[in-house]
Amino acid sequence: MKKYVTVRVGKHISFFYDKKAVVVLAALIAAAIFLFLISIGSGEIRMSPLEAAAALFGYGEEIHQTVIVTFRLPRVLVAWLAGMALAAAGAILQGMVRNPLASPDVLGITGGAAAAVVGFLALFSDENHSLIVSIHWLPLAAFLGASAAAWLVYMLAWKNGLAPLRLVLVGIGVSALMQALTTLLMITGPIYRASQANVWITGSVYGASWQHVLLMAPWVIGLLLVAILAARHVNVQELGDELAMGLGGAVERQRLGLVLLSTALTGGAVAFAGGIGFVGLMAPHMARRLVGSAFGALLPTAALLGGVFVMGADLAGRLLLAPAEIPAGVFTAALGAPYFIYLLYRSRKS
């Protein structure tokens, strides 16, 4: 049976797709929709998936529509977008540096974004806990922080190329530096800001609003589309520098563009969902096992997996110790940290 199917549109457009990847993507989309309905129907007022779907489209009881549209839907959408962004950023980094241990949080990029956001909140908040500038600037601050951390890692790890182990070790060091900077900003700021920032850094979508969704959605979806268009560049980068240059690729320019793309995705996620860890590490790995390493199929698979992870972590945080809430980042870290150790153990001979 043929693995790939060729599609021709007219005389000038043709492409092929992997049949297994299509099946996997369809299954993940179905799982994401099911989890989405479970998530918006869970809480103090419980609804079945059918009731939640009816309320979502303006049917059923009015109280159900109000609870879902006003309170739960923005939170679930922010979790979904953040998971997709972090997973896509991790997939780009792993493909670009050919290192399975690379991810935004392991390399300190998430930490850089977190430090920038805490600094932004500390600098631009008044005595009434309100921002004195528009929240529209928050993604830009996170992007600049993530970019600064990525540049620092890249510069310190470069020595006639990027050795995988050196890159990870430098990234862990920069991540620790960013955490120390974040802590310094928290303890030197107002006490109310420190407690608020501490919950946010752990990774929580509690309090997400439609304003967050409207700011985050164009940023993340637009960058994901750019990442899909850049898939062939990541495939070329995975071949190694010499072979990529032999194929005529502008390796360094493409690498810079991919780093900026990854940091922008990370910054957008961290700005509104906090430092949710290990999603960018786990999702690309699992996606690679499902659909292989071709980036055209790997990226959407990893993004869907990341969205499911964060939605599931947020749902678990809301239900397990209700009425108390646990940040989603606690669950992703509880799963991701052992997985990272397992990857380190498995790669000890390489």
* pLDDT tens column, 339-349: 878 877 776 66
3-state helix vs strand vs coil in the chain, percent to 5: 75, 5, 25
How would DSSP label each residue in 286-310? HHHHHH-S-HHHHHHHHHHHHHHHH
Cα separation, 39 vs 68, in Å, equals 10
Asked if 286 and 230 count as a contact pair (C-beta separation under 8 A), the reply is no
What integer is the mean pLDDT of 58-74? 84
pLDDT at 151 over 80: yes
Most confidently modeled range among 30-39, 136-145, 194-203: 30-39
Ranges of beta strands (E only) in the chain are: 4-9, 13-18
Q: Cis (ω within 30 of 0) for the bond into 323?
A: yes
CB neighbour burial string for 244-274, b if at least 16 within 10 angstroms, e if fewer: beeeebebeebbeebbebbbbbbbbbbbbbb
Residue scoring higher pLDDT (126 or 313): 313
Q: How high is the pLDDT of residue 83?
A: 92
Average pLDDT over every residue of 43-54: 83
Q: pLDDT for 153-209, tens place per residue?
A: 888 877 776 666 677 788 888 888 888 888 888 777 666 666 666 766 777 777 778
Distance CA 26, CA 10 (A): 27
pLDDT in tens, 76-114: 999 999 999 999 998 988 887 777 777 888 778 888 888
Q: Which of these, 71, 70, 72, 103, lies nearest to 85 by C-alpha position?
A: 103
Q: According to the model, what pLDDT value does residue 4 have?
A: 67
Q: Which helix (H) or strand (E) holds 180?
A: helix 164-188
Which residues make Cβ contacts (< 8 Å) with residue 186, sequence separation at least 6? 118, 122, 193, 194, 197, 198
